[in-house]
Amino acid sequence: MKIYLSVRKGQQSKKNAEKGKPKMNSLFLMYHDEENKKRTYEFLRLYLYDKPKNNLEKDHNKETQFLAETIRAQKILELQSRKHGFVSSVSGKVGFLVYFKQMVDTKCEINGTWGAWLSTYKHLNTFCKGKDIQISKVDDFFLENFKLFLLTNKISSRKGKLSQNTALSYFNKVRTSLKEAYQTKMIVENPTDRVKSIKEKETNRQYLVLEEIQKLVKTECDYPIMKNAFIFSCLTGLRFSDIKELKWKNISFDEQNGYLLKFIQQKTKGVENLPISEQAVKILGERKKDTYFIFENLIYSAYHNKILHKWISNAGIDKHITFHCARHSFATLQLTMDTDIYTVSKLLGHRHLKTTEIYAKVIDKKKIDAVAKMPDLYL
């Protein structure tokens, strides 16, 4: 692996030129993996005057260039240390907030997780009071206090405390970041090994029964593409983030196996080969070019969530349903139809069977309710 420092020529807008603002060029690092013949880029957010006009601008360019060269030297040292199994002292001096923000930025393409990562960063920044801490100094004491902060502090004057499961989600993202820092030899040990996570609180997961899904199919929606995507999720168990990224090339068919959906989970990055039913494919309509998105221009926001709620209400369903409830509905339907839990786990793309067991508890509750409805035999 070789690292080069390069300059990207900036393009000055006509508006900035009229205001007399100077043209600036951006500095970035290019990582060249000679073995795999791959190149990746890291923009440093450092800028040079394209044509320095005075000594002040020349000094700025000189100091910025020196800073960029220093960063490049640190990166090279880190790569060499990892190659030989050592933890670089330079890596440990990186600010944890800076490191975590970099992880947040890498999640920007993952619709289902980026918002949660960004929220975690905001809470982490509030906890640190805006003052960064070296990643090597993040210890079990820091983590225990952050955990307490998530569980006890109000997030604003308008809102109360975070729910226990939201606090768990945020805390686990901090744990994930430190685990990755340890695996890439940025820190000597993983402090999360000595800290217990937040206990997950059981929640009443909303889902739709078969009759309710059938009602939705017959009910018109003001946003038809979302209706189709929701029903498709009920029939496949796919998350919104995965459905949004599906292209026609992801669906194949052969006589032996029927329809097969091959895709990469946006949340876990795991490669999935998911058999899907013919009626799920019918919802998609006429097949288009392989490179086209199946649900083109599909958007889900607070506004679109209101449309979803209106659609649910118009179907005569009195439940608080979000798009993710379609995935819950698929899981509970499968278990209700006596599909074994291991198979359901695989269909949902769960890494651990324990995650799927949450849905099994819902089915157990249905069985208990059914027994309770038995009529009195002693008249």
- Across 102-109, average pLDDT: 73
How many angstroms separate the CA atoms of 204 and 321, rounded? 12
pLDDT band for 189, please (50, 70, 90 cuts): confident
- Across 202-223, average pLDDT: 88
pLDDT band for 85, please (50, 70, 90 cuts): low
Number of alpha carbons in the 13 Å side-chain half-sphere of residue 24: 13
How many angstroms separate the CA atoms of 271 and 235, rounded? 20
Looking only at the bridges linking them, the beta strands covering 2-8 and 24-33 are antiparallel
pLDDT of residue 13: 58
pLDDT band for 157, please (50, 70, 90 cuts): very low
Judge whether residue 87 has pLDDT over 70: no
> Which strands, in side-by-side order, build the sheet including 2-8?
2-8, 24-33, 38-49
Using DSSP's 3-state secondary structure scheme, residue 126 falls into helix
The structural domains of the chain, with segments of one domain joined by +, span 2-86, 92-194, 210-370
The fold of the 92-194 domain, in CATH, is DNA polymerase; domain 1 (1.10.150)
Greatest mean pLDDT among 45-59, 89-103, 216-230 lies in 216-230
Using DSSP's 3-state secondary structure scheme, residue 343 falls into helix
CATH code for the domain defined by 210-370: 1.10.443.10
Q: What would the pLDDT profile of 37-81 be if each residue is shown by its tens digit? A: 778 888 888 888 888 889 999 999 999 988 888 888 877 877 766
Give the gyration radius of the chain's Cα atoms: 26
Judge whether residue 90 has pLDDT over 60: no
Amino acid at 191: P
pLDDT of residue 46: 86
pLDDT of residue 96: 92
Tokens of 77: 């040292």
- Across 178-205, average pLDDT: 84
pLDDT of residue 51: 87
Of all residues in the chain, what percent carry a pLDDT higher than 70?
84
Q: Specify the residue for token string 């009910």.
A: 219
How many angstroms separate the CA atoms of 240 and 322, rounded? 11
What distances in angstroms separate CA 333 from CA 60, 86, 147, 207, one per listed residue?
A: 64, 51, 36, 9
Q: What is the mean pLDDT of the chain?
A: 83
Q: What would the pLDDT profile of 245-261 be if each residue is shown by its tens digit? A: 899 999 999 888 899 99
Which segments of the chain are extended strands (E)?
A: 2-8, 24-33, 38-49, 251-254, 258-264, 271-276
pLDDT of residue 217: 94
Judge whether residue 133 has pLDDT over 70: yes
Tokens of 293: 């998105």
How many angstroms separate the CA atoms of 321 and 233, rounded? 13
pLDDT band for 222, please (50, 70, 90 cuts): very high
Amino acid at 26: S
How many angstroms separate the CA atoms of 51 and 23, rounded? 8
What distances in angstroms separate CA 113 from CA 42, 119, 127, 170, one per listed residue?
A: 22, 10, 21, 11
Judge whether residue 323 has pLDDT over 60: yes
